[in-house]
Amino acid sequence: MPGFSTDCIHTDAAIARVPDAVQPIGVSTTFRYPKDLEAFQEAINNPAPGVLPLVGNPVYLRLSSPGSEAVEAVLSKILKGHAVVYNSGLLAFFAAMTRLNPKRIAKHKCYHGCHVILDIFTRLTHLEQIDLDDWEQLEAGDVLHLELPVNPEGIAYDIALWAERAHSKGALLVVDSTFAPPPLQDAFEQGADLVMHLATKYLGGHSDLLAGVLVTKDPEVKVKLLEERVYLGTNIGNLESFLLLRLLRSLKVRVLQQSASATAIAKWLDSQVGVLPALAKVYHLLLQTDAFIKTQMPGGFNPTFSIEVASEEIARALPDRLEYFYHATLLGGVESLIEWRTLLDEHAPKTLLRISVGLEDVEDLIEDLRQALALFS
């Protein structure tokens, strides 16, 4: 069987429509019907089980496009399921909630935008939102939602344990694996029923597109998600599918390097707690000792983590004193970012800075952090 990167680079060749080594940027929203209308009607009326009739026969961008189908082919392969791609991460989450429509959802503190989506469902469907610790109230058809590793602190829960708890109640486990892109973590291995990734983050990795993906092991669920996507109008756009396909080619080398650099930086930062007074605490999976961490993230630790500094004033001022870490929200890109998280997340401690490690040389990143922290020490 081909390896991960080979799949990233070659999977969609089987459905390529032109012989170009790089598939062209599509600009069309509509596609001519084939001349053989009888065969076309037959394909639509009697699709193979688990196949949406018009996949492979693009007719209109809102349904699918050669670009979205190529992206889905690659993502299905590397995420080991049936992938459906969306025009943003939050809309992927919205689509998951629309499909599952649970009466109750158990969750921990997750991405603030996901909380807002859940509040919309509470308004529309009286969805009851409960804390993860109250999971025993879950019933059949409910959802347990994990976002791992947790944003912004970058700590993890035991997916296998929570899968067991959800399933013991007949509930489904949804895992937002954005902070642990492939090949770092495969939440299906630990029992997840639906896996979500924000392609806006690591899968794209160049801070130049919005997209999201849901992955299911059940081909019938994929068909339902595709059918609903048609009417939610949330398929990925043509330029974004071109960019995402291009960026997926280098996913493994990017993510493994970002993970290795982040781990080295976190290790160095941890060694400076008590040495540089400006630095108060480091949150990174490296420092979490639970036994499940090693099996849950066999590919390496997450490249985004957080630190706490000694005061709110330092947290406010420090990002501006860094050369290579831009002060901006987002994570997963080739450029390193740092963010005073309280600006966008009211629940984040005021002394917390989130760090997304990019692809600069790790020595330069460490030196940048050292000089900035020293300024306030």
Ligand X SMILES: *Cc1c(COP(=O)(O)O)cnc(C)c1O
Q: Based on CB atoms, which residue is closest to ligand X, 76 or 302? A: 302
Kindly state whether residue 212 participates in binding ligand X, applying the rule CB under 6 A: yes
One of 104, 201, 222, 254 is an active-site residue; which one? 201
Residue nearest to ligand X (CB): 89
Kindly state whether residue 113 participates in binding ligand X, applying the rule CB under 6 A: yes
Kindly state whether residue 178 participates in binding ligand X, applying the rule CB under 6 A: yes
Q: Is 111 a catalytic residue?
A: yes
Q: How far is the CB of 334 from ligand X (least distance, A)?
A: 17
Q: How far is the CB of 146 from ligand X (least distance, A)?
A: 11
Q: Is 176 a catalytic residue?
A: yes
Kindly state whether residue 205 participates in binding ligand X, applying the rule CB under 6 A: no
Kindly state whether residue 186 participates in binding ligand X, applying the rule CB under 6 A: no
**Interface segment toward ligand X; rule CB under 6 A; list 31-39, 198-206, 217-225, 313-321:** 198-206
- The label of the residue with tokens 């409910």 reads 142
The DSSP letter of residue 30 is: B
Q: Under a CB-based contact definition with an 8 Å cutoff, are residues 67 and 23 in contact?
A: yes
Buried/exposed code over 214-238 (b: 16+ C-beta within 10 A; e: otherwise): bbbeeeebbbbbbeebeebebbbbb
Tell me the CA distances in angstroms from 349 to 58, 282, 312, 336, 364, one per residue in order.
48, 13, 9, 21, 28
One of 7, 12, 142, 176 is an active-site residue; which one? 176
Integer Cα distance of 314 and 278 in angstroms? 7
Please name the amino acid found at residue 52: L
Beta-bridge partners for 104: 128
Helix (H, G, I), strand (E, B) or coil at 283: strand
The backbone region for 30, taken as left when phi is positive above 0, alpha when psi lies in -120 to 50, beta otherwise, is beta
Each as own residue / partner, the long-range contacts of residues 358-362 (CB below 8 Å, 24 or more positions apart, any chain) are 358/258, 358/333, 358/334, 359/254, 359/257, 359/258, 359/261, 359/334, 359/335, 360/324, 360/335, 360/336, 362/260, 362/261, 362/264, 362/265
Restricting to residues 134-163, which ones interact with ligand X according to CB under 6 A? 147, 151
- C-alpha dihedral (219, 222, 130, 117), degrees to nearest 10: 170
Q: How far is the CB of 179 from ligand X (least distance, A)?
A: 6
Q: Under a CB-based contact definition with an 8 Å cutoff, are residues 187 and 144 in contact?
A: no
Q: Under a CB-based contact definition with an 8 Å cutoff, are residues 255 and 332 in contact?
A: no
Q: Based on CB atoms, which residue is closest to ligand X, 138 or 211? A: 211
Q: Which of 7, 12, 153, 176 binds ligand X (CB under 6 A)?
A: 176
Q: How far is the CB of 19 from ligand X (least distance, A)?
A: 33
Hey, what are 257's tokens? 């390097």
Kindly state whether residue 114 participates in binding ligand X, applying the rule CB under 6 A: yes
**What x/- string results for residues 53 through 92 when contact with ligand X is judged by CB under 6 A?**
-----------------------------------xxx--
Q: Based on CB atoms, which residue is closest to ligand X, 256 or 330? A: 330
Q: Based on CB atoms, which residue is closest to ligand X, 53 or 154? A: 154
Q: How far is the CB of 300 from ligand X (least distance, A)?
A: 18
Q: How far is the CB of 333 from ligand X (least distance, A)?
A: 12
Containing 166, the helix (H) or strand (E) segment is helix 159-168
Tell me how many residues contact ligand X (CB under 6 A): 15
Restricting to residues 258-317, which ones interact with ligand X according to CB under 6 A? none
Q: Which of 111, 135, 162, 325 binds ligand X (CB under 6 A)?
A: 111
Question: What's the gap between Cα 237 and its chain centre?
Answer: 18
Q: Based on CB atoms, which residue is closest to ligand X, 82 or 201? A: 201
Q: Is 320 a catalytic residue?
A: no
Tell me the CA distances in angstroms from 298 to 78, 190, 290, 301, one per residue in order.
15, 12, 14, 8
Q: Which of 23, 200, 336, 351 binds ligand X (CB under 6 A)?
A: 200
Q: Is 62 a catalytic residue?
A: yes
Q: Based on CB atoms, which residue is closest to ligand X, 55 or 203? A: 203
Active-site annotation, residues: 62, 111, 176, 201
- Contact residues toward ligand X (CB under 6 A) are 88-90, 111, 113-114, 147, 151, 176, 178, 198, 200-201, 210, 212
